[in-house]
Amino acid sequence: MVYLFIEVMEWVIRERPYRPKELDYSYLLEFTSKLHGISQAESLFSRIPSEFQNELLYNNLILGCLNRGLIRLSLAYMKKMRELGHPISYLVFNHLIILHSSPSRKKSIPKILTQMKADKVIPHVSTFNILLKIEANEHNIERLLKVFGDMKRAEVEPNEVSYCILATAHAVARLYTVCETYVEALEKSATGRNWSTLDILIILYGYLGKRNDLERIWGIIMELSHVRSKSYVLAIEAFGRIGDICRAEELWSEMKSRNSLKSNEQFNSLIAVYCRYGLITKATALYKEMEKSGCKPNAITYRHLALGCLRAGLIKEAIKTLQLGMDMAASIKVKRSTPWLETTLSIIDIFADNGDVENAEKLFEELKKANYTRYTFVYNTLIKAYVKGKVYDPNLLKRMILGGARPDSETYSLLKVVDQFRT
């Protein structure tokens, strides 16, 4: 359909049976850049009558450049827009921020925001949502709240996406009281029945242990014209989190009957629930069913199973299973995902209880790479390994502070015990 539109519009420009309007050129430029690349989009732009080479067309061309990651070219067109007196869209700045959101490029974001202000572009709620998400992904609650403060000072009204980010970040940080406040704001700001918001509410009520609210939101999801497999997966995990294994199994059977089981994510959802409570026999049976169905276990499957083995007291099997998963390739996205991080921390917690400093430290490095170690409770779990293992390390407090975590009363109590092992 898009190709047909481009062909028709190219014919209209060439043969001129009627005079194209601004929006015609805008759509044509957008589709050309997406399907044929920037060179052809630039060529098209040069052939568009000068009266239509306005802010809309320039902004579309720049967004096309940014979609291809051509930052320098987009900056050159932005400079041209300033010279012509055309206002630059906030969407352009949003895209620039996203392209600079990786840890190695993040330092450029303040400069982008300064330029945005200089160009008199008012930040949109989506601009702040992008900034909030960047800090949430970095597990930086302090910076997250600073961005939210900037949002309030700019008199930009938060929307349901804003509250989804804030509530989820606080849930992951185990700040449940604050999380609950944002969940209330989220429910009030929600517009219509947005499946993505409903999915996040499922996750959040799982964290908060609110079974009635979990059932209420699931009931709303079930009224949608189509219930996605992903929603089932999240609900299974949420009911598992609150300890309702029977309900999790019920939903899994329902998902199995409604949607054919095609992904390891579907199997992993119930395997994770079983392993959380050490039900390794049930988890292993599901693992075998997974293999028979043609779904291949992935790194997180083995990580869940390793946790299940540890919970069941099968230490040797756990370490063997853990190694199986570590030998498999896992993307950075997976290793930064909350299920991966929380499962890994649960494993570290058991190693800590056993005084296994070596294995605790090995996995702790993974959490450090994902900035999950900014949370005090994560560092306290590691220190507990030194306490149980009766191992002295004078650098634990220094490591913690330099890692961005704030020591609390539990930290100092644990360190006091560690100090007793000084030789």
Q: Any idea how long the chain is?
A: 423
The CA dihedral of 211, 339, 94, 72, to the nearest 10 degrees, is -170
From CA 13, how far away is CA 29, in angstroms rounded?
Answer: 12
CA atoms within a 13 Å half-sphere pointing along the CA-CB vector of 316: 0
Burial environment of residue 292 by CB neighbours within 10 A (0 to 12, 13 to 18, 19 or more): exposed
pTM, entire model: 0.91
Q: Which residues of 31-42 are buried (b: 16+ CB within 10 A; e: fewer)?
A: bbbeeeebeebb
Quickly tell me which residue has 């059977």 as its tokens. Answer: 253
Contacts of 253 (CB under 8 A, 6+ apart): none
Q: How far, in Å, CA of 113 to CA of 68, rounded? A: 21
CA 354 from chain centre, in angstroms, equals 32
Domains of the chain: 1-121 (1.25.40.10)
Per-residue pLDDT of the chain (423 residues; tens, 9 = 90+): 455 555 555 655 555 555 667 777 777 777 888 888 888 888 888 888 888 888 898 999 999 999 999 999 999 999 999 999 999 999 999 999 999 998 889 999 999 999 999 999 999 999 999 999 999 999 999 999 999 999 999 999 999 999 999 999 999 999 999 999 999 999 999 887 788 999 999 999 999 999 999 999 999 999 998 899 999 999 999 999 999 999 999 999 999 988 778 889 999 999 999 999 999 999 999 999 999 988 899 999 999 999 999 999 999 999 999 999 888 888 888 899 999 999 999 999 999 999 999 999 999 999 999 999 999 999 999 999 999 999 999 999 999 999 999 999 999 999 999 999 987
